[in-house]
Amino acid sequence: MRNILPWMLAIIFLFLAIYFYWQKQEAENKLEILGQEVAEIDRDMEEDRTESMEEMVLPPDTVGMTPPGGAAFVDELGSLSESDIQRLKRKGLQNPESDLMNDLNRKQSKLIPREGVVGGKMAIRDSRILNDRYALAYYEDGHIGGYMLLKYEVNNGNINWTVVDNSSL
């Protein structure tokens, strides 16, 4: 009887070791399958994002244009071209750049995606109208801040803003 007890314990431990090894292998296989599915979803999302970014970066009316080089680009960033101004005037804006900036400042509390912290109040500190569809804005409350890429539509002088993307600092 004494000799049987160690053998029974050894058999039980061997059975448990085999069982847990099998469970580990099964979990690793499931993890690998899920990893492949996530990678496939990431590839699909990247393709969709690339397609939408190409539409934003190269709108049909500016495909042939080349941006100014060097430091001048920073100074030029946010100036509407003459064709952009004319398009926006046809859509009902009297003075497109100032009308857009004023409307953005009036609606900023609805557009900024974050709340202020430590008693600060979020506000747009700098904004640039990029073209006849997009604007870029920097917002902060004195403690935290970020950037927003905004898309706007003008219909009969009415301006509707949509936050396309934002990133916190």
Q: In this predicted model, what pLDDT tens digit does every residue of 121-141 receive, in sequence order?
A: 899 988 888 888 999 988 998
Please state the pTM of the whole predicted model: 0.54
DSSP code for 68: P
CB 54 within 8 A of CB 66: no
Confidence band (pLDDT; 50, 70, 90) for 76?
A: low
pLDDT, average across residues 141-145: 87
d(CA 36, CA 45): 14
Q: Biggest alpha carbon distance in the chain?
A: 102
pLDDT, average across residues 49-60: 55
Confidence band (pLDDT; 50, 70, 90) for 72?
A: very low
Please check the confidence at residue 64 and state whether its pLDDT lies above 60. no
Q: Is 128 helix (H, G, I), strand (E, B) or coil?
A: strand
Query: What's residue 53's pLDDT?
Result: 56
d(CA 136, CA 114): 16
